[in-house]
Structures are given as C-alpha cells and as structure tokens.
Structure 1
Amino acid sequence: MRRRSVLLAVPALLLTAAGCGSKDDKSDAASSPSGSPSGSSAPSGSPSATPGTKIVGGPVPEITAGSAFNQKPTIAKGAGTPAKDLAVKTVIPGSGPTIASGDYVQVNYVGQVYDTAKVFDTSFGRGPYTNVIGQGKVIPGWDRGLVGQKVKSRVELAIPPALGYGSAGNSQAGIKGTDTLVFVIDVLQRFNGKSSATGAAVPQKDASLPKVGTNTDGKAPSIDVPKGAKGKAPTKLVSEYILEGDGAVVKATDNLLLQYKGVLWDTGKEFDSTYGRGELAAFPLAQLIKGWQQGLAGKKVGSRVMLVTPPDVAYGNKANNGIPANSTLVFTLDILALL
C-alpha cells in the first residue's frame, strides 16, 4: 500500500531551488510493513473529521505473556463485543515526558485483529517505528490514543474500523473493513523541536576547523568558524563527530529525523536552521546534497555531526536561497532517529 510521506519542506536543504531534497512526496522507509499504522489515506473518522472522538477504558484483550515494558507481548482474542469508540488502557504508566500533537514518537508495537487474535504486524524483532503523532500521518486511533501518554508507557488500544483503515480495510494486511484492531504499544522515546543528540562529547582538536557547541538543551549549538579562515576553506568534505551516539549506523538508504543548522564558511552567517523554525526535519538521506549523503552515512544515531561541505558536494556554482555561488557550508546535525 502507499504510505504517507515523511518528507518535510525544508527551505534551504532541498536539491531543488528550495533546498537539499525533493519537494515531491516520497514513501516511508521500505521496511515499513503493509499493516503498519501509517495509512494510505486518512479513513473516515480521521482526526480532522472527528475532533471530539470519544475515548473509553475498554474492553481490551488480556496480555497473556510478555508483560514487561519493551518485551514482545502475546495478546488474547477479544472477549465479547468491542466498543464502538476508541478504547485506551495504559497498561504500564510511563515516567517520561508527555506526548503532544506534533511530537515524533519511537515505539515498539504488536497489532492484531480483535475477534481472531490474528497478528498482522509487529515491530518487535524488526526495530522500532518512528512517526509524528496527532498530524494525520498514522491511523486516527494512534493519533487519538497516544497523545497525552508518557514516554516509557505501555498502551493498549482497541481501534474501531472508522479510526483504523475505514470501511475499505487493508486487504494486503488481511484487515477487513469491519475489523476492530488491537495494538499494544511501548513508547520508547519522544522527539520534538526541543530535542538534541544524546551522545558523548568528542574532543575538537583541529584548530583549522569550526568549533561546534556541545549543549544538549534543545537550543541551537554555536558554530565558530576559525578567524581569518576566508579563503582557507577545506577543499574536501569534512565529517566529524561532535557528540558520538551509540545508536544504529546510518545507511545511505535510510530516512532520518534531524535537528540541524547551517552557516556560511566565509561569514559565519546562518542560512537555515530547524531550531529557528521550531520543528524537526525528516527526509530520505538519498535525496539530500552529496555532502550530507557522504558525510552522514556510517554515522550513529544519537550523534551530533559537523559537516564542512565544499561547493562540489553542496550547490556548486549556483546561488541558492541566500547561499552565494561557490560557497563552502558548515553544518551541525543531530541525528535523532531513523524513520
């Protein structure tokens, strides 16, 4: 099935006139399964159509095994008639921050059909799933059921058809238009415009390179280009850890969730920043400028990376949205998650 795009409009970083990637909508990561909570279109009962969705406490099926947080659960078949409204049960209360609409959440989950206990999808064993919540990018039952929950919570949802895949169902996943869906969701992390990388600081010993701030308070890190550096910019790509994380290694085919800031080497002038917009950037690495593709592949999630991109791996001899032709650019990028 077609999936919702994770690509956000990023003014300076699309390869088109607007920046480093394409403006066209692209699919989610290829590993996202056909029965995943991202739908091909917002079914009837989408958040925009039902702002007053009623939430009830049950019934939800019993979890019969795997009861610990982030342990794959086994879920019994539903007993009796499922609720016509969204049923939400917080199985394990979390101690982390509260999820708000517009936050990205990273979760592990199991999804099955209420009446039959047929499992149609799970992230356990495949790797966590990350997407934005409350914005119509996932099925409405997730949008409604996860907003207000806390990180480190286990939440069980029984989602009626109108808040799942609608009357059409999802034939590829074996979901009929009359099926109530059951999800057990472990909320691992939350990301928003105040998120930062979490890695350990790496010494910055090369005086000929810019120095980047190591703050992890969600504010934009400083980028200090060496004084008198005009005309002495590196002629080859520089990619250095500022904070080194311990997450998965980025592949060229990955979709990334990032905080970033970019300045001109010659002047130190900022030309783009997610911090200034108060929102994260999410896009396929393969659609970004060559300096990002080459400089981020092989780096670890949870890291802050400094890139110095000469013109041949940036925008070359063309000016672009406040970036003069033949500019060397300096970026600080926090790799928050894979999508």
Structure 2
Amino acid sequence: MRKAPALLLSAGLLMATLTGCAPTSAADACVPTAPDGAASKLIDVSGSFGSAPTVEFPTPVKAQETERTVVIPGDDDGPVLTAAQSIRMSLAMFDGATGDPIPGATYGEPAVYSTAQLNPEITKALECVTPGSRIAMTVPQGNQAAILVADIFDVFLAKANGADRPVLQSGLPSVVTAADGTPGLTIPKSDPPKDLAVAVLKAGDGDTVSETSQMVVHYTGALWKERTIFDSSWQNGSPATFSPDGIIPGLATALTGQKVGSQVLVVIPPELGYGDQDNATIPANSTLVFVVDILGTLP
C-alpha cells in the first residue's frame, strides 16, 4: 500500500465515530452527517467507476465544513458504512486552491482503510456509502478545501452478523459479545483440550474463506493458562487483514472453510501455535484462545 498523505489519516489514529447512522441494511435509511453542499457540488467528476476520474472545479474552493456529493450511487442492497469498520477504496486528492493533484494521492489500485484510522472529516463524508459508490468530498484545510473523489469497492462488516449457534463441546471458554461486537472471554480453570478445538458461535452466510483468501477480521487472542488477553484488534481500534498462509497453523485450519459473517472460537494447542518458543508476550508451550469475527474477504 502506498504511503497515505497526512490529510487522509487521523492524528494519533483516533477512533472516528459515525454519529449520523443507525445500523441498517438499507442505504436509504442511513442519514449522513456531511451535507450535499454548495462546495461539493462545484466538483465536476466524469469517467466510469473503477477508473481514474477526470475532476474539474473552479478555484479556489473554500469550505467551512465537510461536504459530500454522491456522483455515482452504489448498491442499495449492499452493506452500509455505519460504524468504525473497514472499506476498500481508490481515491484521488486535489488542492482546492490550485486544482493540482496532491502528490502521493493520485488514483490507484484499491486499498483497505479502517475508518478508525482515517481523518475523521473524511470518515464523516463516507458515512452511509455502499459498494459501487463514487463520492466527491470537500474537506476544510485552513481557509481552503481539499478535494477528494473516492470509489468504494467494498464495505466490510463491523462485526460478525451470523446466526447464533450453540457450543456443543464441553470445557471450552465462554464468550459474551458486547453490543459493538467486542467479545468478552471466560476461560475455565480446568486443563485445556489437547487437540485443536473449533466452535462456530455465529454462522455467517457470506463468502467462504479459502487457503489463499485475504481476510478482514476482528480478533481477540488470549492465553489459556494465564487467562489474559495478549492481543486484540478491538483494543487496537481497527480490523486486521491477513491470510491463512500467514498465521499460525491452528488458526489457519480453524478459519479455512468458514464463511464471512461468522464468529469462531478457537483453542490452539502449543504444537499448532508457537510451540516451545517464546513469541513476544506469549510464553513457550502456551495454549492459545482466539475469538475471530470474519468481516470480509478481498478479491
């Protein structure tokens, strides 16, 4: 991924809260905070979705607040960006004072961005978008405005949304999920399973994860013996992206064949984890516990 311009990212990776939308599957029920205003309507955008746009506007463009105009509507039945989650998009940025492209921010291959990491004003302009949308934005920058045009290819789930499933195997950790999707873990004081244990807590009906899939996930990782969390994308503030061939064997086995929208509980014995080697805060011979929400896959 190319290095993102400073405007694009939120200082300190502040969590961006999308306040204008209630969770919904219908795009027309979502009301964005950023208005379709006079400044954003000055941006003339031509070209087809998925290709570099031709962007023209009278200079200088001034904006006292973030505005956005939908140039190409997306899929009304597609997932709606309503929370701190991830999207896959291509975008171009221009100097509102001169009309010149901003170096390093020309339209390119789509990349995955977490709304928790984006500049909050850009996140505001992206509220309620669905896949297939092209959005023109004006974002205040001092007395002028930055101009952005974004094509939205994918909007990933904020949390697992599959049907609840009972856990049939006894002796596994219990999981209670908060309203925002964050899981809470209670690990038994008994000995862990000797073999890999996998329980689907929520069964999704989306795309199937293959051995070569790139996944967008939320996860919590814990140590069975210590009953402590060693890593959590929820605590880190944004989903993670990885593939089965880039993670420990037990987790790869557990997630391959699962569907997007699923929440999966995995207990991994040491030989399918990090074995007899220490790994950062994970002691040697540790049994690991993961709760993974599969939010989407990349093409």
Residues 41, 150 of structure 1: alpha-carbon distance in 2 compared, 3 angstrom cutoff: closer
Which string of whole-angstrom CA distances, capped at 9 and with x for unpartnered residues, describes residues 161-217 of structure 1? xxxxxxxxxxxxxxxxxxxxx9784576356xxx3211111111222222222x362
- Shift in Å at residue 90 of structure 1? 1.0
Q: Aligned residue for 1:59?
A: 44
**Alpha-carbon distance in 1 for matches of 2:111, 2:178:** 21
Which string of whole-angstrom CA distances, capped at 9 and with x for unpartnered residues, describes residues 274-322 of structure 1? 2222222222331111111111111111111111110111011112233
Q: Is the 8 A contact 1:196 1:217 kept in 2?
A: no
Q: Aligned residue for 1:151?
A: 128
**Alpha-carbon distance in 1 for matches of 2:3, 2:114:** 15
Q: Normalised by the size of structure 1, how large is the TM-score?
A: 0.55
**Alpha-carbon distance in 1 for matches of 2:173, 2:114:** 36
Residues 82, 277 of structure 1: alpha-carbon distance in 2 compared, 3 angstrom cutoff: closer
Q: Which amino acid aligns with 1:333?
A: V
Unmatched runs of 5 consecutive residues or more in structure 2: 11-38, 62-66, 93-106, 138-147
Question: What is the percent sequence identity of the aligned residues?
Answer: 26
Q: Aligned residue for 1:245?
A: 204
Residues 130, 151 of structure 1: alpha-carbon distance in 2 compared, 3 angstrom cutoff: farther
Where 1:317 maps in the other structure, the secondary structure is: coil
Q: Aligned residue for 1:89?
A: 69
**Alpha-carbon distance in 2 for matches of 1:238, 1:57:** 57
Q: Which amino acid aligns with 1:151?
A: C
Where 1:312 maps in the other structure, the secondary structure is: helix
Alignment of 1:1-339 (within 5 A): 4=1, 40=2, 46-48=5-7, 57-61=42-46, 82-83=56-57, 89-91=69-71, 92=73, 96-97=80-81, 103-106=85-88, 131-132=112-113, 148-153=125-130, 154-157=133-136, 185=151, 189=155, 195-213=158-176, 215=177, 217-227=179-189, 229-230=190-191, 233-339=192-298
Q: Which amino acid aligns with 1:217?
A: A
Q: Is the 8 A contact 1:198 1:243 kept in 2?
A: yes
**Alpha-carbon distance in 2 for matches of 1:55, 1:273:** 38
**Alpha-carbon distance in 1 for matches of 2:83, 2:124:** 5
**Alpha-carbon distance in 2 for matches of 1:148, 1:323:** 40
Where 1:295 maps in the other structure, the secondary structure is: helix
Q: Which amino acid aligns with 2:43?
A: G
- Shift in Å at residue 266 of structure 1? 2.2
